Structure 1
């Protein structure tokens, strides 16, 4: 069946205000504190993944919700300017989500106003348009969750493959994933998220990351875990692969995991092996840290 695009990304898009050198303690009482740098950039796991995939040559579309406001126009212009089809994005009467990232070296605190994000539902999503469907930020979009297993199952029956990056759960509860993961071909957590999911689903105690990946993989998906300075690992049908980190001096780590996702999906859609996909993903994530924000340093396929 002919598809309009290679990749449909379903998820979040918002402006990020990234403040570098942020203090660990904020001074209230109308005190003003200075930081070393600030940038206004495109944010949202889904948006950054979509931009990275388009940069790698995939025909990419984004489906989500933004407000009919200046922030929403900023988001749509930024996505379109990077080659992402935004024609399937819903314009909401509610405000666009907004995020402030307080970065201190490689660590960061993230403050998000969800705006219209919680109101995205599967009824907003196009059917049968992509070779692969990727869903981001599961816990920021509770309106999407109830219908998501059925939507993903429908897409798989129509011949598409699927993936999921839950990102963090602000509530810390990690609920509702068992049914969704059964309809996911590739699950893309970081190490902390993978452990939290395994603890919730299997009541698992402390285990190696390899054991955690195998547990989750037992539900069906290939499990690809981002492991920071230790690179990444993948578990697929009993096969385990690892890729070391690429040594770089990061400028900004915001969005590195989303660029990793883009690299993994681009390599997979090219038919590359599990180990090759992992190497491409780690390289994309590492290179993306060489400029402020999640999209400015994303590589092309030739640059890889």
Structure 2
């Protein structure tokens, strides 16, 4: 039986149309490589929302799309998956797109993204929607933002959202810096070692303990710091917990970090403490690594609730 979640999630961020290519052999430059292509919804906030919906969490997604065919495809699929979405159409812009090339072992060889529709958006693009949804939010509501949002928009949203918990994903080394003015306002930040180094100004060679200390000193209440197969550090109100990822055969690395975020958010919404919730996120990430794309077909709360 699916659990009854108490905390809804409102996600704000990227809505992309992803094209994922899996090479039948190692991808080489300056020539074509036989491959299998898959087209699916993407973007951090979208990936997290799709995973949350599959886990039975009441989820709302706020983002922007163009007035093109990709937008219509995305909106139809999100609706079919039970995600209540609030999209702002920006005429003259293409819906965000992401192209990834994977070698046969599932590793990412190269990727490109066109996110001008969001990166060049005005700071108040979602203000009216957030005002409407804030009217029914309470202290249990989880607001989730990704750093695909421009820095002025992130700062404005952090000021606008007064009720509920605010959590974020750093997205990339470059985009993580957009969150710096928000750190003391966040209830939790999900990021990897490279993103944390960029955010704190530490060198990439800095160790996880040094990075963790810098994040605490920067004002973060809680964070989930990933370092690939080396492990995960969860910091929550001064308590440090170290976790080890599951071993799994990797098919595709796309969306594994987003699945970790979603799995742990789902558990937090049910009332688990962050350090326990991340165990569910690690299970979700393992299922995603063994699948193609950012949403594992085998994902369910029952598949995660094995502890």
Q: TM-score, normalized by length of structure 2?
A: 0.85
Deviation at 1:247, TM superposition (A): 1.6
Q: Deviation string for 1:11-62 (max 9, x for gaps)?
A: 00111111112755421xxx5x123322111111111000011111110010
Q: Does structure 2 conserve the Cα–Cα contact (< 8 Å) formed by 1:231 and 1:246?
A: no
RMSD (Å), alpha carbons: 2.2
CA distance in 2, matches of 1:81, 1:168: 29
Matched, 1:273 2:273: yes
Change over 3 Å in CA distance of 1:240–1:147 after alignment to 2: same
Matched, 1:80 2:79: yes
Matched, 1:163 2:167: yes
Aligned match of 2:90: 92
| Pairing 1:1-304 to 2, within 5 Å after superposition | 6-21=8-23, 23-27=26-30, 31=31, 33-86=32-85, 88-93=86-91, 94-104=93-103, 105-108=105-108, 109-118=110-119, 119=121, 121-124=123-126, 125-127=129-131, 128=134, 129-130=136-137, 131-136=141-146, 138=147, 140-142=148-150, 145-155=151-161, 157-158=162-163, 160-169=164-173, 172=174, 175-199=177-201, 203=202, 206-218=205-217, 219-297=219-297, 299-304=299-304
Q: Aligned residues, how many? A: 285
Q: Does structure 2 conserve the Cα–Cα contact (< 8 Å) formed by 1:241 and 1:274?
A: no
CA distance in 2, matches of 1:232, 1:81: 34
Deviation at 1:259, TM superposition (A): 0.9
CA distance in 2, matches of 1:173, 1:302: 34
User: Counterpart of 2:229 in 1: which secondary structure?
Assistant: helix
Q: Which runs of 4+ in 1 moved over 6 A?
A: none
Q: Does structure 1 conserve the Cα–Cα contact (< 8 Å) formed by 2:154 and 2:179?
A: no
Q: Does structure 2 conserve the Cα–Cα contact (< 8 Å) formed by 1:50 and 1:262?
A: yes
Change over 3 Å in CA distance of 1:231–1:194 after alignment to 2: same
Deviation at 1:230, TM superposition (A): 2.8
CA distance in 2, matches of 1:97, 1:226: 26
Deviation at 1:91, TM superposition (A): 1.7
Deviation at 1:221, TM superposition (A): 2.9
Change over 3 Å in CA distance of 1:77–1:231 after alignment to 2: farther
CA distance in 1, matches of 2:45, 2:96: 13
Aligned match of 2:3: none
Q: Does structure 2 conserve the Cα–Cα contact (< 8 Å) formed by 1:48 and 1:294?
A: yes
Q: Deviation string for 1:52-77 (max 9, x for gaps)?
A: 11111110010010111111112112
Q: Does structure 2 conserve the Cα–Cα contact (< 8 Å) formed by 1:52 and 1:295?
A: yes
Deviation at 1:141, TM superposition (A): 3.2
Q: Does structure 1 conserve the Cα–Cα contact (< 8 Å) formed by 2:27 and 2:33?
A: no
Gaps of 5+ in 2: 1-5
